[in-house]
Amino acid sequence: MIMYKNNIEINIKTIIDNGIVMNHIIPLLGITGYLLYPKDIRIDPAILYSLSILHNGFLVSFSACIFLELSKIIYNDGIVFQSNYYFQNPVFDRIIYLFYISKYYEFFDTFLLYLNGKTPIFLQKYHHIGAVISWHLMYTYKVDMVWMASLLNSFVHTIMYSYYLGCLLKIDQVRVVKKYITSLQLTQFLALYSNFYFYRPPIETWFNYYIITFFAAYGVGVVGLFGKFYYDTYNIKIIHT
C-alpha cells in the first residue's frame, strides 16, 4: 500500500516537474472562457461595426503575413518530411507560436456575433475549439506537420477574412467568392490527410503521430460539418430555384 502510494506521488511529481499540467492549462482556460462568454451583452451598433472592421482587417493582414513568411521558409529550406526539422529554425518556431496564439484571438469571431444578437452555428464553435487544441498540441510537442496545416490555413484565412471585410465595407463584388471559401476550407483539410503517409513512423515519433491522428479526427468533424453547410447553403438553394 505504501509502495503504491509512493508510486502515485512519484508520477504526480513527474507530471508537475515536466510542466505537463501547466502546458495544458492555458487552452483549457481559454476554451472555458470561450464557452462561458455572456451571450446577452450588446453594444452600440456603430462601435460594433468599427470593431468588426478592425478585427477582420487585422486578421487579413496577419494571415497574409504568416502565409508569406512560411512560404519564404519552405522556399529556402525545401519541403522536408522529417521529425523536428522546421522547428530547428527559430523563425519558424516564432511564426508557428504567433499563429497558435491567433487561434485564441479568433474566438472574437463568435463574440462579435453575440454582440450583434446572433447565434453562431455549431460548426464555428467546433472549428475554433478544435483549432486551439490542435495548434496547442502541435506547437507544444513540435509536430513538424504543422508547417502544412499553418500554410494552408493562413492562405484560406487571408481570403476568408478579406471576404468578411469586403462584405462589411459593402463591396458587393466579393460575394462571388463566398461559395469557393467553403470549398477551400474542405480542400485544405482533405489535403492534410496526406500527412498520415508523409509523417508515418519512424519518420515522425509515435507520440507526435498520435497528435497527427487527433488532428485528422478533428478534421473529419470539420469536413463533415463544412460539407453539410455547403449542401444546405448551396444545393438546397439550387433545388428551390
pLDDT tens digits, 155-185: 999 999 999 999 999 998 887 888 788 888 8
In this predicted structure, the answer to whether residue 240 has a pLDDT above a threshold of 80 is no
Residue at 3 is within a domain = no
Position 64 in a domain: yes
| Beta-carbon count within 10 A of 203 CB | 15
Per-residue pLDDT, 3:
40
141 in Cβ contact with 24 (< 8 Å):
no
Q: Give the pLDDT of residue 4.
A: 37
Supply 121's cell numbers. Answer: 452555428
User: Are 93 and 87 in contact, with CB atoms under 8 Å apart?
Assistant: yes
The C-alpha cell at 47 is: 462601435
Query: C-alpha grid cell for residue 79?
Result: 519541403
How much is the mean pLDDT over the chain?
88
Q: What is residue 235's predicted lDDT score, i.e. its pLDDT?
A: 67
Measured CA to CA, the distance from residue 18 to residue 20 in angstroms comes to 5
pTM of the shown model: 0.86
Report how far residue 218's alpha carbon sits from residue 221's, in angstroms, rounded to the nearest whole number. Answer: 5
Is 16 among the domain residues?
no
- Rounded Cα–Cα distance for residues 142 and 158 (Å): 25
In a domain, 36, yes or no: no
What is the number of structural domains in the chain? 1
